[in-house]
A and B are shown apart, each in its own frame.
Chain A
Amino acid sequence: MMDLTVNGTTHAIDADPDTPLLYVLRDHLGLNAAKFGCGLGQCGACTVMVDDRAVLSCVVPIALLAGRRVTTLEGLGTLDQPAPIQQAFIEEQAAQCGYCIAGMMMRAQALLQATPQASDADIRHALEPHLCRCGTHMRILKAVHRAAALMRAHDPVRGAL
């Protein structure tokens, strides 16, 4: 049994310490956004944030996460109150099957929190570990640019950084 803080709530988790975070998020906590894609850290579909960094939840055992803050896409916003990154992906219609998208969005969120003025090269570089099979890349890039603009508008002080 260990405590795990996800989207601001601390849960007592009954799982072996070697259990990858992804399985706890999906199976124990019933969260949908982080996806099983490869279990090998090769595709990015499982990406969440730990503290403020994007991590591949399929290869991070929960034993490493005591005292850390885990954020998933569910923790950013909701259908009724979407976060800027969610609003941006809806406005750009940046999904086909959408299976890879939640991971992409978490990577982009981490990037834009650290670098509000991220350049196109920064965005492409950050998304390099992520695979999309539908070929939605152009829209994903546009959506991340749009999210950056929305986030800067929401927080003009940090947005100037």
Chain B
Amino acid sequence: MAPLPTFSRRVVLQGAGAIMVSFSLRSLPAGAEEAAPSKLPGSLAVDPHLDAWIRIAPDGGVTVFTGKAELGQGIGTALLQIAAEELGVPVERLTLVTADTGRTANEGYTAGSHSIQDSGGAIRNAAAQLRELLITEAARRLGLPSDQLRAERGKVTAPDGQELPYAELAAGVDMHVAARPRSVFRDPGSFTIMNTPMRRIDIPAKVTGGAAYVQDLRLPDMLHARIVRPPSYRAALKSVDLDAADKMAGVVKVFRDGNFLAVVAEREFQAVKAMRTLAASAEWDETAILPAAGRLADAITALPSRDLYILDRHDGTGQAARTLEATFTRPYQSHGSIGPSCAVAQAVDGSLTVWTHTQGVYPDRAAIAEMLHLPLDKVRCIHVPGSGCYGHNGADDAAADAALIAMAMPGRPVRVQWMREQEHAWEPFGPAMVTKVSASLDAAGRIADWRYEVWSNTHSMRPGAAGSLLAAQHKAESFPVPAAKPLPLPEGGGDRNAIPLYVLPNAAVTYHFLPDMPVRISAMRSLGAYMNIFSIESFMDELAGAAGIDPVTFRLNHLDDARARDVIRLAADRFGWADRGKVVAGRGFGFAFARYKNLAAYCAVAMEIESDTGRVRIKRVVSAVDAGQTVNPDGIRNQIEGAILQSASWTLYESVTFDATRITSVDWATYPILRFRDVPDSVEVHIIDRPGQPFLGAGEAGQGPAAAAVANAIADATGLRLRDLPLNAQKLRKQLREGL
């Protein structure tokens, strides 16, 4: 890779402690958490004790604790890099303990690109303060001033070469102390572990058949369960023959609780066969409650709404010369984990342990305990990685399924594995959305005014309450689905990134929050940001075209955020945007940009596509990202590459389908996604490191820009502006025909 441009290191010299404090004040979301009296950075506010995050054993082994979960995004490795760098211990000597209600702090959900900011922030501060305590102890023992001592490679070293290993020093240090609000961090210029590409700690097991997933958990005497789900939302069980399944080979129990049906068997495939027999015998009363799929945008905008006026800014300047308007739609979309959800639960002496790939062990525990009427301290949830989830998929529901069944089979562990069609039909989808935008250009080609509206459900129906769980909804003592709430700004939900980062002197943005949820929905990677950025960045290209200004120049003309301008210029430069040449038939270029949540990582994407009779293939992608202080550059690259390809798949192909009663996209044939023949020739990710600056979450930063870059490249290639997701070949061909 060619060297990156250099940036001012002034911020480094200002003193890192002050930067962390300003970061913590700025980055906390609005709401109750912000009002906490503690000014501790990151998740130290959740548990300020240093030993809640890092412990040094008498043998010198160091254990790092995080309440966040490894989802395949690589945070386990990055968190160890942070701890190793600040503490001064080789990474190989560190052990990581992840989300476990019995062992780690309550860091809520692993979501929203928060892990490095929040958990990384806590671990970094804890490591730096522990290092200071160890140095102080060494200074006391050696009778030397602290500032003459160095803490590196697991020991404190004096100028004369005397060494005291951390293991020895730790015996004299009380690590169960509350953190101070400020830490003395190492100078980023001296980093040897952070900002260095590090191989992921979890990959070797994953490529050699090691036990790496909850699906691989095999406890002694474990039983295999399968669920028989209703055929549709709100279906009620009329009749079922429990005996036929019960008599089958290996079947230990056939379980019914209201509309919740399951089989439990000694062997896994015996459970599958019994599930099929039980399902075939079940008769259900179904209700046609789903919206008309053919006119989804009308159905969405017709839902009752609570209108939130999230921006209304007018300075009276700007003379509108011409006005453009557009409507964009997004269907329900699926997380589509390659591995259907799975969980193992075991009830012993009235206490329940659940091994789950949930994104939130504490909220999941609360929901399961409520469902089972157990005290919280009788339920322990332990995170074990699953297949990638990209948000709230079936993980929590599978955990509840296993918990409910395990309580009926005391002593024996019960493993629940969902089937493909269950994951596809029952996971909570990414919500359908509609946006409308109109804007005026002045005579000079600047945006004189901007009006934007977004219609959306909430983007989180995650547990915390039992009613979020399918098992709790379906059992005889049915728990109602909790009322939906809009997620508060500045992070937002349906309105995430609905307020453009661009300089717009006259702008109004309205969020039509839709409390009714005809289709089961919840959080999907980047929440509303995907659709809002797709809409805003598509429309920016339309405006640029109307103004006769290059799309990259047009964006820069409306941005005063220096870091935003830097990623845009870097992506454009590395792509060769200015020299991209004249458009030839079927070939097009697209560009898009956003700062995720307007407060996390900056990301710009430039793309070249080719389109042949409607089929679109992305040829080349160049992106630039600014995630603040870089921890693992290869981790960021891997996440952004993945975000771009996943978002391209959502954008080009994906739509949940349903009839009046049932979800009909129930497998990979009915819900097609990206395949290798459509994979680009190359995807480049360029990182702008910001030494000493706060970490900015990057995991979801690519979703919106990639989507809009695809749409803009299609418009460039074909002259057709597609605004109704997905931008698939069928729609493109239809428009091509009608356009001719």
A residues contacting B by CB (< 8 A) are 15-16, 19-20, 23, 26-28, 30-33, 35-40, 42-43, 45, 72-74, 77-79, 82, 86, 89-90, 93, 95-102, 105, 124-125, 127-128, 130-139, 141
Taking a contact as CB atoms closer than 8 A, the residue among A30, A35, A90, A136 that contacts B641 in the complex is: A136
Q: Which residues of A contact B339 (CB under 8 A)?
A: 35-37, 45, 99
A60 to B72, CA, bound (A): 29
Taking CB atoms, residues of chain B closer than 8 Å to A90 are 199, 203-204, 207
In the complex formed, the residue of A with least CB distance to B642 is A135
Report Cα–Cα, A100/B216, bound state, in Å: 14
Residues from chain B with a CB closer than 8 A to the CB of A40 are: 420, 667-669
Whether B209 lies near A33 (C-beta < 8 A) is yes
Q: Identify the interface centre among A20, A27, A74, A139: most chain B CB within 10 Å of its CB.
A: A27
Question: Contact partner of B207 among A19, A36, A102, CB < 8 A?
Answer: A102
7 contacts between A and B (CB under 8 A): A35-B338, A37-B420, A38-B420, A39-B419, A99-B72, A99-B386, A124-B677
Contact A101 to B645, CB < 8 A, known contacts A15-B267, A133-B338, A134-B388: no
Q: Are B668 and A96 in contact (CB under 8 A)?
A: no
Q: How far is the CA of A27 from the CA of B387 in the complex (A)?
A: 18
Number of A-B contacts (CB under 8 A): 181
Give, as a whole number of angstroms, the nearest-CB distance from B145 to chain A.
43
With a cutoff of 8 Å between Cβ atoms, the chain B residues found around residue A100 in the complex are 338
Q: Are A124 and B215 in contact (CB under 8 A)?
A: no
Q: Which residue of B lies closest to A88 (CB)?
A: B207
Please report B residues at the A interface, Cβ cutoff 8 Å.
71-74, 199-200, 202-213, 215-216, 218, 224, 249, 267-269, 272, 336-340, 385-388, 390, 417, 419-420, 634, 638-639, 641-646, 648-649, 667-669, 673-677, 679-680, 682-683
> Which of A33, A36, A73 counts the most B-chain CB atoms under 10 A from its CB?
A36
**In contact, B643 and A98 (Cβ under 8 angstroms):** no
Residue among B269, B337, B667 with the highest chain A CB neighbour number at 10 A: B269
Given A38-B420, A133-B336, A136-B641, CB of A97 within 8 Å of CB of B679: no
Assess the B211–A37 pair: CB atoms within 8 A: no
CB–CB B638/A36 < 8 A:
no
| B272 cross-chain contacts in A, Cβ below 8 A | 23, 39
Interface pair A137/B269, CB less than 8 Å apart: no
Residues in B whose Cβ lies below 8 Å from that of A99: 72, 213, 337-339, 386-388
Q: How far is the CA of A11 from the CA of B724 in the complex (A)?
A: 55
Q: Compute how far the CA of A30 lies from the CA of B646 in the bound complex, rounded to whole angstroms.
A: 32
Contacts A27-B269, A32-B212, A135-B643 aside, 6 further interface pairs with beta carbons under 8 A come to: A23-B269, A39-B420, A42-B669, A79-B205, A99-B387, A131-B673
Inside 8 A of B667's CB, which chain A residues have their CB? Answer: 38, 40, 42
Closest to A141 in B: B679
Residue of A98, A124, A127 with highest tally of chain B CB at under 10 A:
A98
Nearest-neighbour CB distance to chain A for B583, whole angstroms, equals: 25
Question: When chains A and B are docked, how far (Å) is the Cα of A128 from the Cα of B668?
Answer: 13
Contact across chains for A137 and B212 when beta carbons are under 8 A apart: no
| B679/A137 in contact, CB under 8 A | yes
A20 neighbours in B (Cβ, 8 Å): 269
Residues of B within 8 A of A39 (CB): 272, 419-420
**Structural contact, A78 and B208, CB atoms closer than 8 A:** yes
The answer to whether B203 touches A95 (Cβ under 8 A) is: yes
The 3 closest A-B pairs by CB, nearest first: A97-B72, A135-B645, A97-B388
Compute how far the CA of A36 lies from the CA of B422 in the bound complex, rounded to whole angstroms.
13
* Nearest neighbor of B337 in chain A, beta-carbon distance: A133
Most A CB contacts (10 A, CB to CB) among B211, B419, B634, B668 go to B668
A61, chain B: closest CB distance, angstroms: 10
Q: Is the CB of B676 within 8 A of A128?
A: yes
Minimum Cβ distance to chain B for residue A45 (Å): 6
A96 and B642 contact, Cβ closer than 8 Å, known pairs A30-B218, A38-B667, A42-B668: yes
Q: Are A98 and B679 interface neighbours, CB within 8 A? A: no
The reply to whether A27 and B224 form a contact with Cβ atoms under 8 Å apart is: yes
Question: CA of A44 to CA of B508 in the docked complex: distance in angstroms?
Answer: 48
Question: Does A96 lie within 8 Å of B72, measured CB to CB?
Answer: yes
Given contacts A96-B72, A124-B679, A139-B638, contact A79 B337 (CB under 8 A): no
Question: Quick one: given A20-B269, A45-B338, A138-B641, are A127 and B676 in contact (CB under 8 Å)?
Answer: yes
A-side contacts of B649, CB under 8 Å = 135
Shortest beta-carbon distance, A122 to chain B, in Å? Answer: 11
- Residues on A with C-beta less than 8 A from B211 are 32
Q: Bound state CA distance, A52 and B73, in angstroms?
A: 34
State the CA gap A137–B338 with chains docked (Å).
14
A36 to B417, CA, bound (A): 9
Bound state CA distance, A90 and B210, in angstroms? Answer: 14
CB-based contact B269/A139 at 8 Å: no
Contact for B676 among A98, A105, A124, CB less than 8 A: A124
A-side contacts of B203, CB under 8 Å: 89-90, 93, 95, 98
Q: How far does the Cβ of A7 sit from chain B's closest Cβ, in whole Å?
A: 10
Docked Cα-Cα span, A135 to B638, in Å, equals 9
Contact check, B215 vs A138: say whether CB atoms are below 8 A apart: no
Measured CB to CB, the closest approach of chain B to A49, in angstroms, equals 13
Within 8 Å CB of B209, what residues of A? 31-33, 72-74, 102
Min CB gap A42→B, angstroms: 4
Residues in B with CB closer than 8 Å to A138 are 641, 645, 679-680, 682-683
B483 CB → nearest A CB, Å: 31
Complex contact A131–B675 (CB within 8 A): yes
Question: Counting chain B CB atoms within 10 Å of each CB, which of A36, A37, A39, A97 scores highest?
Answer: A97
What's the least CB distance linking B612 to chain A, in Å? 17
Q: Which residues of A contact B216 (CB under 8 A)?
A: 32
Collect the chain B residues with CB atoms within 8 Å of residue A95's CB: 72, 200, 203, 206-207
Q: In whole angstroms, how far apart are the Cα atoms of A90 and B204 in the complex?
A: 7
- Nearest residue, chain A, Cβ from B419: A39
Q: Are A98 and B207 in contact, with the CB atoms below 8 A?
A: yes
Q: In whole angstroms, how far apart are the Cα atoms of A74 and B249 in the complex?
A: 30
- Complex alpha-carbon distance, A96 and B668, angstroms: 20
Nearest-neighbour CB distance to chain B for A91, whole angstroms, equals 8
Contact: A96 with B676, CB < 8 Å?
Answer: no
A79 to B205, CA, bound (A): 7
Interchain CA distance A101-B639 in the complex, whole Å? 16
Nearest B-chain residue to A120, judged by Cβ:
B681
Which residue on chain A has the smallest CB distance to residue B336? A133
A128: B residues at CB distance < 8 A: 675-677
Q: Known contacts being A77-B208, A78-B208, A97-B387, is A131 close to B680, with CB within 8 Å?
A: no
Chain A residues with CB under 8 A of B417: 36
Minimum CB distance partner of A137 in chain B: B679
Give the residue among A32, A43, A79, A136 with the most B Cβ atoms within 10 A. A32
A97 adjacent to B207 (CB under 8 Å): no
Complex CA gap A89/B199 in Å reads: 11
A98 and B72 form a contact (CB under 8 A): yes
Smallest beta-carbon distance B521→chain A, Å: 19
Q: Are A137 and B676 closer than 8 Å at their CB atoms?
A: yes
CB distance from A107 to the nearest CB of B (A): 10
| In-complex Cβ contact of A86 among B208, B268, B679 (8 A) | B208
B249: chain A residues at CB < 8 Å are: 16
Assembly CA distance A61 to B386 (angstroms) = 26
Complex contact A133–B202 (CB within 8 A):
no
User: Which of B213, B336, B388, B674 is close to A137, meaning CB atoms less than 8 Å apart?
Assistant: B674
User: Which residue of chain A has its CB nearest to the CB of B77?
Assistant: A93
Q: Is A73 within 8 A of B676, CB to CB?
A: no
Query: Which A residues are in CB contact (< 8 Å) with B208?
Result: 33, 73-74, 77-79, 82, 86
Q: Within 8 Å CB of A33, what residues of B?
A: 208-209
Contacts of B202 in A (CB 8 A): 98
Interface pair B269/A96, CB less than 8 Å apart? no
A97–B676 touching, CB < 8 Å:
no
Q: How far is the CA of A83 from the CA of B658 in the complex (A)?
A: 45
A139 to B685, CA, bound (A): 13
Bound state CA distance, A73 and B207, in angstroms? Answer: 8
* B645 and A137 form a contact (CB under 8 A): yes
Chain B nearest CB, measured from A125 CB (Å): 8
